[in-house]
Structure 1
Amino acid sequence: MAETDISRPADQASAAADLEKQQYVAPACPTRDRLGPQSAFKSLGLLDRFLAVWILLAMAIGIILGNFVPDMQRALDRGKLVGVSVPIAIGLLVMMYPILCKVRYEALHEIFQIRRVWVQIGFSLVVNWIIAPFFMLALAWAFLPDEPELRAGLIIVGLARCIAMVLIWTGLAGGDNEYCAILVAINSLLQMVLFAPLAVFFLDVISGDNSPGFSYALVAKSVGVFLGIPMGAAVLTRTVLRHRLVLGPRLYDGRFISLISPLSLIGLLFTIIVLFAAQGKQVVHQIVSVVRVAAPLAVYFAVIFAVTLFVTYRLGFDYPVAATQSFTAASNNFELAIAVAIATFGENSDQALAATVGPLIEVPTLLGLVYVARFVARRVGWKEGLVL
């Protein structure tokens, strides 16, 4: 009896330790500290607080440039990198680099040893590669039954899983950047393999649109350039500056990250300006088509996000991971979608127009959903570390 009483605390401690290893809790402060006690608006930095304003201004500037500056599109298309104009490529690389510098790559091997991570990755794969693309396909047919070209562009957007902007939305919403980096890496690899056959299956087999074949090389090169280059640079930067004691953890996580963080917003706004400058005339001259494409996109972003957030809450995911899951599911890689649409159907095609409308709707919608996620987490008292 005495032995049983003595060993019981040890057994309980061992069980608690095993349970802790099975859980994946974001390596940060509790939800209240992560989101802050004040409103979502006030808890954001000055630049992020008015991000919607900057984005709308960038869109307006781009459309004005595209419509009133002679030969704007021709000038932007003089140099291309993996089918995308060089200015857009530069903007994307600048946007990605600071965010990826924050990811704790040195801790990823520990995260992959946690069983619950694999459950969450499996959940993400189902939502991203089965539910979301088929939902976009259904919306494309429901809203655009008489417009096969616009419908094809919308389907392409649904197949391009996000590998860039989701890092920004996750950071603003108080999500888990490390887990987001894992999903970004997985989706990037899967896009190289799955994008082309899924495009053929969705467009030719299901829709019967008889679209031209998609290039595996184009998708693989696009992902390799727009994710591989900034991620490689970020890993090298973090290894040299933080872990080789050039700066050390304190200066790196403090001053260096603070110094380069504004580059993400600068890269985003520059990319939006150039993107809309290149397609500005089409956006204005085909306003009816823009509105018809915008409607299913808005429904897609809102529904996928809301359903994913609700399901993850019911499953017991902690808030940072749930937010990351929701934004990953709702976001799309509009840069890749535009590049593929232009390379396959041409710059002035309706497919390219539909892909270009993607960021016009996605950016303000997902920014609004950042506030929704933060409000919901605070309203329901969403805690971290809930067990499945």
Structure 2
Amino acid sequence: MSITPTDAPVRARLSTLDRWLPLWIGLAMVGGLLLGRYVPALGHTLEALEIAGISLPIALGLLVMMYPVLAGVRYDRMAAVTGDTKLLVSSLVLNWLVGPALMFTLAWIFLPDLPEYRTGLIIVGLARCIAMVVIWNDLACGDREAAAVLVAINSVFQVVMFSVLGYFYLTVLPGWLGLDTAGLDVSVGQIALNVLVFLGIPLAAGFASRAIGERTRGRDWYEDTFLPRIGPWALYGLLFTIVLLFALQGEQVSENPADVARIALPLLAYFGLMWAIGMVTGKLLGLGYARTATLAFTAAGNNFELAIAVAIATFGATSGEALAGVVGPLIEVPVLVGLVYVTLWAGRRWFGVDPRVTPGRNVAPTGVTPSDTEVRP
């Protein structure tokens, strides 16, 4: 449906696939573990389909999961946020200074004796939001336009900075602090190549899709018809990848459940702290509720697709780094869903507004198809 100009609020709803994502992820994990146990030939098949240490089926799943969300970004709206200096600068600081430093600190505090998992968590901290954050933001009644622009900016910035920060946090900083650097020697060129492949390709494809689609068929067709058709493939790709990863990681997960629990603890702390820092920063800067919520979720959300891709390509699909990356979305999804409700409460408590009855914009939210929106009288 198209939404005409109105003062009525707009409420975004998750599809069944999105709403039950934690369940689907859990089933994918169990399915992968069962495949790994009862179809041992699967691992050998995946190894036979590798090029330069990258499993082609897993690479395909990663690219499929990233393309739809990048195709949904409105790249022509960058000026809407770049003019808000406070929002832009605070977002860049939280995403590229605070976030990686916080994850580095938590990883060393919680996992000082598990270098592979620690490295995996640091990689997760370096991969900034470009995907599900638009859904969490919309459910929290944040600024949709600002969220789309910040996602686009982080996508471009990530191509430039990910490999540099990876080298700094995995090699340089531990050396300066006198920490154990065994197994943390990561090639800048190797990470840069993986970032360009797994982020650059879907980013370019997403930009080209929107440019060509809108030019030939118009924005209404692109957002009302094309995006709803390709949207579910992001989650299909994610679930497909998790099945394969857990099939390869099955023995390690089943034999080390305590390690998996230890990986989850710093992730819980990280998502909660980043959200809180974002909310407090937005409140102190006077950004208002909508953009404060957007700032908080774009700071707390992470691009776990990229983190998994880099961990697999750099350290291998059966590595502890890859396992840490896989645990990332299992913790992020339920935590950020819970924080949506906390954010709505904070809007009433801290900002004196009820986000659900604040007049909405007259456009469908970015990342949520028009069929997922309704105008409430």
Q: Please classify the TM superposition score into its range, dividing by the shorter chain length.
A: 0.7 to 0.9
The structural deviation recorded for 1:287 is: 1.0
Larger Rg: 1
Distance 2:240 2:138 in 1: 20
- Say if 1:293 and 1:29 are closer, same or farther in 2 by CA, change over 3 A: farther
Correspondence 1:119 to 2:89: no
* 2:204 match: 232
Matching residue of 1:210:
182
Whether 2:131 is the aligned partner of 1:155: answer: no
- Mapped pair 1:58 → 2:25: no
- Which amino acid counterpart does residue 218 of structure 1 have in structure 2? Q
Distance 1:93 1:145, change over 3 A: closer
Q: Report what 2:339 is aligned to.
A: 369
Greater shift in the superposed pair: 178-187 or 364-373: 364-373
Matched-pair contact (CA < 8 Å) for 1:160–1:336: yes
Offset, 1:164: 4.2
Q: Does structure 2 conserve the Cα–Cα contact (< 8 Å) formed by 1:153 and 1:354?
A: yes
Q: How does 1:129-278 map onto structure 2 within 5 Å?
A: 129-167=96-134, 169-170=136-137, 173-174=140-141, 175=144, 176-206=147-177, 207-243=179-215, 246-278=216-248
Alignment of 1:265-344 (within 5 A): 265-342=235-312
Structure 1 residues not aligned, in runs of 5+ = 1-27, 37-42
Structure 2, unpaired ranges of 5+: 361-377
C-alpha distance in structure 1 between counterparts of 2:234 and 2:36, whole Å: 24
SS in 1 for 2:48: coil
Q: Is the 8 A contact 2:199 2:306 kept in 1?
A: no
Q: 1:74 aligns with which of 37, 44, 47?
A: 44
8 Å CA contact 1:203, 1:210 repeated in 2: no
* Cα deviation, residue 70, structure 1: 0.8
Q: In the alignment, is the contact (CA less than 8 A) between 1:345 and 1:352 conserved in 2?
A: yes
CA distance in structure 2 between the partners assigned to 1:289 and 1:208 by the alignment:
19
The answer for the alignment partner of 1:33 in structure 2 is 9
1:93 CA displacement: 2.0
Identity %: 45
Kindly tell me: are residues 329 and 78 of structure 1, through their superposed partners in 2, closer, same or farther at Cα, counting changes over 3 Å? farther
Higher mean C-alpha displacement, 179-188 vs 368-377: 368-377
Contact conserved, 1:99 with 1:264, CA < 8 A, in 2?
Answer: yes
Paired residues, number: 347
On the 8 A contact 2:115/2:183 being kept in 1, the answer is no
Query: 67, 71, 76: which is aligned to 1:97?
Result: 67
Report how far residue 331 of structure 1 moved.
Answer: 2.9
How far off its partner does 1:371 sit? 4.2
Mean CA deviation greater in 171-180 or 135-144? 171-180
Q: Is the contact made by 2:245 and 2:318 (CA closer than 8 Å) also made in structure 1?
A: no
Asked whether the equivalents of residues 36 and 250 of structure 2 are also in contact (C-alpha less than 8 Å), the reply is yes
Once residues 168 and 247 of structure 1 are traced to their aligned partners in structure 2, the CA distance between those partners, rounded to angstroms, is: 26
Q: Is the 8 A contact 1:306 1:326 kept in 2?
A: yes
- Structure 1 stretch 165-174 or stretch 249-258: which is displaced more? 165-174
Deviation at 1:286, TM superposition (A): 0.9
Looking at structure 2, the residues matched to 265 and 339 of structure 1 have their Cα atoms a distance apart, in angstroms, of 15
The whole-number CA distance in structure 2 between the counterparts of 1:330 and 1:112 is 19
Cα distance 1:190–1:32, how it changes in 2: closer, same or farther (>3 A)?
A: farther
Tell whether the 8 Å contact from 1:83 to 1:339 is kept in structure 2 after alignment.
no
Q: What is the TM-score normalised by the length of structure 2?
A: 0.79
TM-score computed with the length of structure 1 as normaliser: 0.77
Aligned-pair CA distance for 1:185: 1.8
Cα–Cα, structure 1 residues 146 and 104, in superposed 2: closer, same or farther, change >3 Å? closer
Tell me: higher relative CO, structure 1 or 2? Use CA pairs within 8 A at least 6 residues apart. Answer: 2
Q: Are the structure 2 counterparts of residues 284 and 173 from structure 1 closer, same or farther at C-alpha, using a change threshold of 3 Å?
A: farther
- Name the aligned partner's letter for residue 158 of structure 2: N
Name the amino acid aligned to 2:180: G
In structure 2, do the counterparts of structure 1 residues 265 and 247 end up closer, same or farther at CA, with 3 Å as the change threshold? same
Q: Any conservation in 2 of the 1:52–1:367 contact (CA below 8 Å)?
A: no
1:313-366 superposed Cα distances (whole Å, 9 cap, x missing partner): 332224454334323322334444445445555555544443443333223323
Q: Is the 8 A contact 2:198 2:306 kept in 1?
A: no
